[in-house]
Structure 1
């Protein structure tokens, strides 16, 4: 999951990442659905950089 969020976070904002994860049927470690805040928390814990408009990898 962390690797997936790492890839998605470089391409889209946290709210959009949460929507993609939910549509894919992925849940958090505690079985909850993803929210913008949960994605942001995971990014912060794992030192994953956020999406920045206009930036490309």
Structure 2
């Protein structure tokens, strides 16, 4: 598993070998959403536009 914090330090995004990216509210720990890929996801980052999530 890999995780990254968004530039505004409000969310954390986790990448997992269960083929998901999960977004969490960093302050409250509240789950926000899940994105599902076609294979395991070993890393993630937020692009310079601060909106796009890049995963691989």
- The structure where helix makes up a greater share of residues is 1
Report the TM-score when normalising by structure 1: 0.23
- The structure where strand makes up a greater share of residues is 2
Report the TM-score when normalising by structure 2: 0.23
